[in-house]
Structure 1
Amino acid sequence: MELDWHTLSTFGSYSAAALLCILGFVLSCLSLSGTWLVLTATGLVAWSRWPGFPGPGTLILFIVLCIGVEVLEAFAGAWGVQKRGGSKATGWAAVGGGFLGMILGGFIPLPILGNLMGMFAGSFGLAFLVEHNRIKKANHAAHVATGAVLARLGVIFLKVGITIFMTLFLAFGIALTTK
């Protein structure tokens, strides 16, 4: 059996797309933008299979999902804090603390879990400090900071769910349209 250039090219694009989708899933678990990697994988497959699946409709749908997730994430931390009576400054502190905690959590020798633990701790800690400094009540500050952590957790579930949906949509679409 002789392999031609098209077969090798298709196999290479599928392999790269699979790797991007797996990496996208891992990044989404860390509350990073893994959906964009799945979009990149979809673009790669679309280029190699043009004009077949995935076409412009799939690419547009995935772009809308990626942007939607980013918009929701931008407001989630602040929403979680403000829903529990915290200030806008506390909301931004939760976002910044989560990012810083995620980076520092990388030093915890538990892959992925260390980053998540750091993110939650940083988000809670900085939100707590800012809110406690504002109102001088530890119970209320803890209540508000917990809202930040719950919002972050919700965003992670959303990102992971959207990433899995996009990956499965791509995989099943390829499987169903391959001759």
Structure 2
Amino acid sequence: MPFNTLLLTECFLPGQTHYKESGVEISLQPESGETVLFFSIDNQSNPNCKFRQLLGIDKDNQNICDLIVLYAKDNQRVICFVELKGSDLGRAVKQVCNTDKFLRQSLKKSTSFSNLTAKAFIKLKGSIPQEHRRYQEELSKHFGDQNFDIGRTTDFGQFLRGIVRQSKGKRKGKRNKTNLK
């Protein structure tokens, strides 16, 4: 399935750089020279999308992610598998990895995928579970260390651009102390 086929489907969301599903949302503000394309591929939220049929997985009942986002600037090309979840991080990881796997199988005869950097972005509505390190390791094995993000931030533009988020670490500073007399 070439990408030009995907452009002609009901999955393509022309002009959109914002997506919301079940109270969870993502967005980005494109910068000069960037091209960003959103594809809503989950047939539960977009029944008109026939992405599962295009991949040949419509009878397997396989989990796939909510969105594919294509990002391009200069010679950089990124395909990002996006899952918006309330809280089930394990299922979200499975969905982004499955979608990548099935798309790669579909494109194995094409050189289209070899020029793309595959990434995964999981946006959680709830808090990040304690066992998140296990899921981070799984995503790292599948996509590479800097090619996945799990979080609660809505704006994922920096991630797509490859700008590494700085860890906040422990805050240092004075605490407000009230002197009681």
TM-based fold match above 0.5: no
Q: TM-score by structure 1 length?
A: 0.23
Larger Rg: 1
Higher helix fraction: Structure 1 or Structure 2? Answer: 1
Higher strand fraction: Structure 1 or Structure 2? Answer: 2
Q: TM-score by structure 2 length?
A: 0.23
